[in-house]
């Protein structure tokens, strides 16, 4: 048996329960991992409330990103053996043990803590895929990152700096903007101000080359309007809860592109692409060219309070629950 956090009905974090459930048994293609840390994104808080783009079948154990130690390997597993430190993504990561397949599992780089490793998979692979592959961000270009103090945003800042871009970080409070600057942003903008586009224009009078938007809501259109000719607007998510409706004359007039960044869909449909992205991540980490953002660590037993703080916007960086 093992402990696992279960969502039995859709609702707030206070409805989650930690219960005893059977420990999973690996099949021939599975890796059984003893979980040391679980990374939680803002989307996890939406999923447990039934507010995300998809609804899991109840009951379920939330959480996807993890770091831990290989406990057992199925007969067909070739890249790992018991005792290896690994990170990746699977289902049911808020538990003592989980099962994962090889394409979603990677060795933890030497010198990387469990907490930091649990923050790497989703946010950094999304940022590499989004900024390098989808947005074609080039050295010297100017990027605006919305929601720049959260896990998704801080990863985008770090990846963009690795690619040689100038980064303007948008965030709602002075403390959050300080976090973004500490993660490498070159300048910041307060998008809660009515005239924030004017402040943005002062920082980039020639317009933005790329926008990285995991927030949506009423920030999307002003950011799109701030693009330079030929700019790229990357749609990453909708943390604001509202999916914006954009007038299509705007990209036409600016000869700009609105580009979807669906890393989750890519990794499901093309697992080999995930391996390629993770190889890039590990290469950058080993070379020291990518400096990961600090994470917010909480004890795993405090999962309710931690998720409540995340949904209320009180968490900066990636939220990681450590067992």
Give the model's pLDDT for residue 116: 95
The b/e string for 168-187 (b: 16+ C-beta within 10 A; e otherwise) is: bbbbbeeebbebbbebbbbb
For 197-255, the pLDDT digits (tens) are 999 999 999 999 999 999 999 999 999 999 999 999 999 999 888 899 999 999 999 99
For 76-89, the pLDDT digits (tens) are 999 999 999 999 99
Give the model's pLDDT for residue 54: 81
Query: pLDDT band for position 111 (50/70/90)?
Result: confident
Q: Fold for domain 2-119+295-322?
A: Quinone Oxidoreductase; Chain A, domain 1 (3.90.180)
99 DSSP β-pair partners? 32
Distance of CA 280 to the CA centre of its chain: 16
Q: Which CATH superfamily is domain 124-264 in?
A: NAD(P)-binding Rossmann-like Domain (3.40.50.720)
Give the model's pLDDT for residue 23: 97
Give the model's pLDDT for residue 145: 98
Task: Determine if the peptide bond prior to 209 is cis (ω within 30°).
Answer: no
For residue 272, pLDDT over 90 is answered with no
Residues in the chain: 323
Percent of the chain with pLDDT over 70: 100
For residue 275, pLDDT over 90 is answered with no
Distance of CA 192 to the CA centre of its chain: 23
Mean pLDDT, the chain, rounded, equals 95
Asked if 78 and 102 count as a contact pair (C-beta separation under 8 A), the reply is yes
Beta strand pairing call for 85-89 and 30-40: unpaired
Q: What is the mean pLDDT of the segment spanning 105-110?
A: 91
For 8-45, the pLDDT digits (tens) are 999 999 999 999 999 999 999 999 999 999 999 988 99
Q: What is the pTM of this model?
A: 0.91
Give the model's pLDDT for residue 221: 96
Asked if 252 and 258 count as a contact pair (C-beta separation under 8 A), the reply is no
Do 124-264 and 2-119+295-322 fall under one CATH topology? no
- Per-domain residue ranges of the chain: 2-119+295-322, 124-264
């Amino acid at each position: 048996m093992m402990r696992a956090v279960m969502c039995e009905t859709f609702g707030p974090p206070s409805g989650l329960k930690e219960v005893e459930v059977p420990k999973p048994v690996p099949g021939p293609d599975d890796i059984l991992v003893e979980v040391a840390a679980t990374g939680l994104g803002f989307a996890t808080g939406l999923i447990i409330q039934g507010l995300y783009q998809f609804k899991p079948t109840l009951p379920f154990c939330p959480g996807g990103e993890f770091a831990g130690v290989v406990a057992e390997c199925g007969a067909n597993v070739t890249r790992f053996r018991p005792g290896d430190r690994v990170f990746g993504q699977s289902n049911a990561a808020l538990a003592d043990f989980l099962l994962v397949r090889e394409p979603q599992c990677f060795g933890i780089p030497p010198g990387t803590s469990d907490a930091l490793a649990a923050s790497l998979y989703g946010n950094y692979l999304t940022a590499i895929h989004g900024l390098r592959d989808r947005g074609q961000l080039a050295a010297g270009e100017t990027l605006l990152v919305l929601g720049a103090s959260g896990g998704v945003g801080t990863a985008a800042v770090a990846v963009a700096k690795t690619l040689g871009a100038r980064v303007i970080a948008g965030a709602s409070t002075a403390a959050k903007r300080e976090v973004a600057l500490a993660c490498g942003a070159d300048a910041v903008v307060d998008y809660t101000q009515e005239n924030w586009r004017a402040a943005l224009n002062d920082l980039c009078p020639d317009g933005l080359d790329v926008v990285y938007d995991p927030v949506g809501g009423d920030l999307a259109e002003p950011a799109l309007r701030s693009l330079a000719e030929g700019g790229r607007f990357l749609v990453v998510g909708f943390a604001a809860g509202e999916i914006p409706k954009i007038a299509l004359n705007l990209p036409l007039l600016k000869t700009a592109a609105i580009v979807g960044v669906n890393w989750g869909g890519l990794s499901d449909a093309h697992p080999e692409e995930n391996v390629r992205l993770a190889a890039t991540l590990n290469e950058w980490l080993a070379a020291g060219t990518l400096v990961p953002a600090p994470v917010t660590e909480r004890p795993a037993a405090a999962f309710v309070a931690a998720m409540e703080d995340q949904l209320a916007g009180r968490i900066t960086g990636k939220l990681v629950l450590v067992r």
